[in-house]
Structure formats: structure tokens, C-alpha cells
Structure 1
């Protein structure tokens, strides 16, 4: 029999087991979840558009009466506010969609519901997911789980804080430029960016050109990550880059790491400016892998990281312009876009066909070099961010360790190597800096190597036991 203590501190796996065995009801779990949200959310503003209590308790009771188990049976979940949720307000953090209520779910949301999860509301995000700081004019700013006067990161900041404070046991996120990895690092939880195509996106609009962003799971343990990934992953015949289904990730976590090799990129020989203390934390965290039987080596790839940055910003602006140009072309809608969105769109519209081709050639060269590196290494490691969580009043850091930032996202350049190549990358906790604020580290593997990266993370998770529930207080 499962021993249940404070429900908000329990793993998703433990809760599902108790629910399926009849040791816990979905209604009781929902009551406890709503109580935890009422206690903590006013301090951090992570969960938004919360459905009425009576609706949620009724949905939980109906699930109990139905008694149909599923992989996520009875778990409350709040969906990131960049994904459509049928009947639940979806704003993308933009005043243009302040009152929009979708008539259908995005594909992965349908999968969550089919597995027995109950959608309770949304998690906060920056406007259209642009920027690694979760604030917007519709829902306000999300505070860090360990100090609400500091940024939660983004764009999955609300999801990370909801997990870290025990308001959710599982959360979905999405990752274009570190949107899973940065908030996971800053809130002492796990976030997984899967191989591009493993988790299907909404099959609307253009489907072939842009391969920069993907949905993925977030959790307080790698076992729970794998539980959610098993539900989210799988092919969609409407998507041209969709990957075939794989055996259960959760069933393949436990294995020896003896002999596995990890290449440590650090700050890429000084290219990435880092706030003091970040590299030390990550290098200490890497020692755990040595204890687990891995060999960790310093590594410097041959591709120029500056060229990767230029490639990334070109392809990103091109993608953002293509997606949002319709708003930009209407003056009354353009006036409601954040300055960073306008900057991206105008930059994207100014690109030539040759600019796009050159950027893709750099990306291709990087992918080829990675293919060679992964014949020597099982994973490559980098810090998850270049600064610790900054004050919530800032839009973004203007400098890092004395180095001026040229754009609203350059301070997150360290996440680009994985994003540009569409590789599976795990954001894992690495400890706390001198101000008591969390930091994390990235582990990236070859395309399709999701299971192997999760195995590394699972062993690390069991060894370190880093994530703990925070009360959202200073």
C-alpha cells in the first residue's frame, strides 16, 4: 500500500499508482491541488485562467465514478498558455487574444486528456513565448519559486514554478530557445526538449520549413518526465517530420552508466560570458556522473559558435516573421505587439533567400560535426543559462559579466547549439548559487537518442535528489 503524506510533494508516478489502486480519489487530489494553488499562487502567479473549483471537482468526481485508469489517471495539469485548450482561455500572453477561448485542443492536449489528466487552467508565459522571462500585459509576471522578486525564466516559467512549488506534479512546456531548459534551471526542476518531431505540434499552416520549436515534458523527477513523454510522444500522419513511436521511455530508465562518455563544452573557450559561479556549479554537478561510472572530458567543437549564433538568429527571425506577419501588417494589431516581436518580424522580413540558405548551410555543418562527435561521446554538456535569475522588473539583462547584449535573447545564447540542431536535450538541476538561487545544466544527445539522455538524467536524479518543493518565499 502506498504511504501518502502531503499530496503536493508527491511524484506524479506515486499519485497515479495510488489513484489506480483506489488508495486515493481524483476528487481528494483535486481538493488538495486547489488548496495548494490558493496558498502559493498569489505569491508567484504561475497558474492563470484557473477553471472554477466546482467544475474541476465535478470533473474529478466523474473520473472517480467512471473508474477508467490511464497513464495520467486523475492528475490535475495546467497547460502552457501557448497551446490551445478547448473551452479554456488561451491568450498566448497577448492582448490580441485576451478573451480567446479555443473550440478544440492541440494534439498533445488531447493525448493528456485521453490518458486521464484533468486540465485545470494554464501556466504563464511571455507574450507569444518570446523571451526567457515570463511576463505579459494580460496576466502579469511570474516570480521565481525560490525568490518571487526574481525571474522564473521562460517561456515555460509558469510551468516550472508550478512544479517547483507543488501546485502541479507534471507540466508541459515548449522549447525554441531554451524555453524548457532555462526555467527548469532557475526553479530547480527538470525539463526535456525531445528530438524534433517526437512530440507533434498543431498541424496547421506551414509544416515543412521551420524546425526550431518543440513541445516537451517538465517534472520534479526524470521518472515523471518519462511518464509524461510516453503520453505526449508519437507520430501524427499530418506532420512531415513526425517521428515514429518508440517503446516506453519510462520502462527503459534503469540501466548502468558504466563507460558512458560526456563532453563538457563549458563556456566554449570563453565565447559565452557567464555570471560568476555558474561554471563551478555545473562542473561540480558533472562530478556526479563520474561517480556513476561516466567519463567526463573537456571538449571544443570545430564550428565557430559565432557562426551558430548568426545562423540561429536568422532562422529564428525568419520563423517569427512568417508566423506573426499577419498581425504586423495591420496597424491596429501591430500597436499591441511587444517591441521584441516587432524587432523579430522586421528583421525576418528584411532577410534574403541567400541569407536563409547561408544560415541553413551553417546549421547543416553543425549537424554533421555533431554526428561525428556522437560517435565519441554519449552526451555533450553545457550550462542551461549564462546568468542567475534576475529581478522581475527587468525586461532582460543588458549585459553579462561586463559583456553588453545586442538583443533581448543573446544572454541565452548557450542554448543555441542544441536548438539549432533539433537534438534531445535534458535540462537538469545543478545546485544553488551564493544568493540561494538555482542553476541548471544541459545534456544533449544525438537525434533519436532521447532514451539514452533520459537514462543519464535518471541516474543523476536518483544520485543527487536535487528537486524539492519550494514554498515560493524568499
Structure 2
């Protein structure tokens, strides 16, 4: 029955509904897999008591199905609250803090029948695309345990790759649903901003950068989970009505046209082998009768970066300035968090205005690009998974990185203006490590991107190449 965990989430759900497997049996298989591999990858943290989980699964077997996720084990990214579980955010400041209620996204998944088994690991406050923190340690890449799993949804991506979870939630401010998906050979989807709400806390008008979203081993699973997560919260101003994406997931994509932005005309430093792998992978779009052609972005990457790091630091300061101002909690913040907060506190109102004008101009230019294309493509990462003991890569292709996140600059054109974006697996390099492509479109094109992604998935089946470490399970 161990092979059952290789099935996609919807296949597992269908088997549960038909009675081909019980929720208790699935929970036992899941716990066995976690015991076998999680000690090596450290993807799932704060795991609940196994006896309690088996009892909850037995109860699910004896109650009416709540939704398509009924009986599926689910672990929540450790930035979100799940009632009764710790929410450390990877920070010693919050270690041991137990959530009194579910966040909106978690409540929606639980209402659809998911059984919350624990949390997935994340960097401190989700800052940086490498999952390590002083509370739970580092998450290792299942394809090479000496390497990073990415982040900040690194625990979720590694758990998917190891078949400890069939589907997962995450969040994305600066590539956090995409970078770890690429490095773990799975799919990660950043929805259109406002489709999946966060919490109605603090500022809900100005900081339009981060979003929650789904991850999975197929776009079909992602579409099903996205429909569970989606929908406005009346307490928040920017939520948007969300038409279901799952019903159209298998619609034809023949004749679509995609633009390839490459390395943005040389603006992005990229490690050797990544661009050639992406270009080889793109040739497979021809099998789907999808045309791909190079396109000039027509916008200065340096302006996008300056707008981003200004608005990002401002948002981080807005969230965590109180921790910085308290000497006791400041001493527990990692240097990168202090750097972000201090930058955010230093800006004037006009600094923020100028950064937002650049953002507005890039949104306008992107809309012009989409007039000729159904979607655009970029590499998902600029580097291969790096040694897990590093905090972040200090150089990329011989170029010094001037911030702890500059090596992720390729994700910024999407993140800055809230566009939907799907990481699709691009295959493996000669080093045996996985990489990905960012497929993105205009606001509201979530359904179209997932349709293209599902066609890609059916044609390539790259996710079937499991981590070598699973051979022993």
C-alpha cells in the first residue's frame, strides 16, 4: 500500500470516497512515511500525537464527507495558525505559542475535510528562500540531502516530494511558493493577489505583496485546493470574487502563445546549466501546439528591484517594528530581519510613493506585453539548490549578491504587481538537481495558467521522478 502515497491528492480522495481505502489506513501510511523519511529532510514539524491522529481518521471514516479533502492528512505552513498547534514562525520569540483559532485559509481546508497533522517548516518569519530557523532547524532537499529545499514554503515542498503530503498550502511574498517547488520537482502556484485572503490584522489596504496559495504534484490538485482556499473575506478591502478554476482544468490549450523573457536581457545572473535546461524544457511546449518565442520585456529590471526592496522592507517593518523596538525581542531576530526592519523604518512617504509609481508603470507595461501572449515565461530560480549550511549564496555566476535575497531577483516581476504564476518542473541538471519555469499571466488568468500547466504535466510527467531517498521506503 505504500505506493498509494504516490497518487495525486484527487486520486487519494476518490479512493477514500469509494471506500477503496479508509482514512485510518491512509493516516497510518502517512505516519509510516513521516517516520521513515522526515528525520532526514525535516519538512514536517510540530507533528501531532499519532494516536490522536488515528482516532481523528477513524472518526472521519464514520462521518458524512465534508468535501473533497475529507480524510486527507494536511500539514500547515508554520506562518499560519492552526487551532491547537504551535505557530513558531521559525522564531524563538514565538516558539511554543499555541494557536487559539484557525486562520481563514486553514479553516477553509478543515471545513473541506482535511485532517491537520502538524506544520511544515519555514524560515524565520518567512524571510529568505532557504528554510532554516533556530526553532526547528533546516529543511533538506530530498534530491540531495546536503542541499537547501528552498523557501519559505520549503517544508511544504519537501513534504510533497517525499510523498508525506499529497497537497500542501504555502504563501508567497518573494517566490516562496515557486522557488521551493522548483527545487523539489513539484508545482507551486501564486494566485492573483486578493484571491486567497490572509488575516484581517494590521494594515489591509497598503501592503499588497504577499499571498497564500496551493502546492501539489499536479496542477489539477492545485486547482482543487485553490478553489477551497479562494474567496473574499468581507473584513478585507481587496478580496476579489473567485470563479472556480477546477471545472475547466482539462480544457484545450492548443494554439496558445507564450513569450520567453530569458534572463531579462542579461539583467539576471544565472548559474551555469540552468538557462540551457530551461530552454530544452521549453521545446516540449511544441508537443502541445503551444508557440514559444523570445520577447523583450521593455522595462528596466533595476527599477523593478528598487521598487521591490523598498516596498518589501516597508511591509516587513510594518509587521515587525514592535519586535525591533523591544530590546529583549530584538536580540532574538536574525540579522536579515533587522536589516529589513531598519530599512523600512528609514523611508519617507515620498520614498514609498516613488516606489509605488514604478510598480504602477511596470503593471502598465506588463499589460501591454500580455496583449500579444497568453502567458510569459521566466526561469524560477537563478541558482541550483545550494549547500544547506549556507545562509544564502553570496555570489551568482561570479556576481556578488548585495542582499540576502538578491539571488532570487528573477521572481520579482511577478511578485511586485500581484500576478498569478505557476512553477512548472523543467527537469534535472547534470548534477541531478531539479529546476523549474515560471509561467505567469495577467491578473485573473489563474484558470488559464493552470490549464496550460495541466497539459504540460500530462505531456512531461517530470514529477514521477521521485527523490532517490524514497527508494529505501
For the residue of structure 1 that corresponds to 2:416, the secondary structure is: helix
Deviation of 1:303 after TM superposition, in Å, equals 1.3
- Residue matched to 2:274: 278
Q: Is 1:374 the counterpart of 2:367 in the alignment?
A: no
CA distance in 2, matches of 1:317, 1:218: 26
For the residue of structure 2 that corresponds to 1:467, the secondary structure is: helix
* 1:382-440: CA deviation from partner (whole Å, max 9, x where unpaired): 00000000000100000000000000000000000000010000011101111100000
Q: Is 1:210 the counterpart of 2:207 in the alignment?
A: yes
Assess if the C-alpha contact under 8 Å between 1:80 and 1:123 holds in 2: yes
CA distance in 1, matches of 2:134, 2:156: 18
- Residue matched to 2:177: 180
Residues 17-416 of structure 1 mapped to structure 2, 5 A cutoff: 17-246=14-243, 248-416=244-412
Deviation of 1:5 after TM superposition, in Å, equals 6.4
* 1:86-133: CA deviation from partner (whole Å, max 9, x where unpaired): 001110000001110010010010000000000000000000000000
Deviation of 1:203 after TM superposition, in Å, equals 1.1
Tell me whether 372-381 or 182-191 shows the greater mean CA deviation.
372-381
CA distance in 1, matches of 2:324, 2:468: 41
CA distance in 2, matches of 1:84, 1:314: 28
Deviation of 1:294 after TM superposition, in Å, equals 1.2
* 1:372-391: CA deviation from partner (whole Å, max 9, x where unpaired): 11111110100000000000
Deviation of 1:473 after TM superposition, in Å, equals 6.8
Task: Name the TM-score, length of structure 2 as normaliser.
Answer: 0.98
CA distance in 2, matches of 1:443, 1:334: 39
Assess if the C-alpha contact under 8 Å between 1:20 and 1:69 holds in 2: no
CA distance in 2, matches of 1:19, 1:435: 39
* 1:296-352: CA deviation from partner (whole Å, max 9, x where unpaired): 110111210000000000000000001000000000100000000000000111111
Task: Name the TM-score, length of structure 1 as normaliser.
Answer: 0.98
Deviation of 1:288 after TM superposition, in Å, equals 1.5
CA distance in 2, matches of 1:7, 1:50: 21
Q: How many residues align?
A: 470
Tell me whether 303-312 or 290-299 shows the greater mean CA deviation.
290-299
For the residue of structure 2 that corresponds to 1:158, the secondary structure is: helix
Assess if the C-alpha contact under 8 Å between 2:422 and 2:449 holds in 1: yes
- Residue matched to 1:7: 4
Deviation of 1:67 after TM superposition, in Å, equals 3.1
Assess if the C-alpha contact under 8 Å between 2:2 and 2:29 holds in 1: no
Assess if the C-alpha contact under 8 Å between 1:226 and 1:454 holds in 2: yes
Assess if the C-alpha contact under 8 Å between 1:166 and 1:470 holds in 2: no
Unaligned runs of 5+ in 2: none
Structure 1 runs of 4+ with >3 Å offset: 471-474
Deviation of 1:470 after TM superposition, in Å, equals 2.3
Instruction: Give the aligned CA root-mean-square deviation in angstroms.
Output: 1.1
Assess if the C-alpha contact under 8 Å between 2:142 and 2:468 holds in 1: yes
CA distance in 1, matches of 2:53, 2:285: 42
Q: CA 1:132–1:5 in structure 2 vs 1: closer, same or farther (change >3 Å)?
A: closer
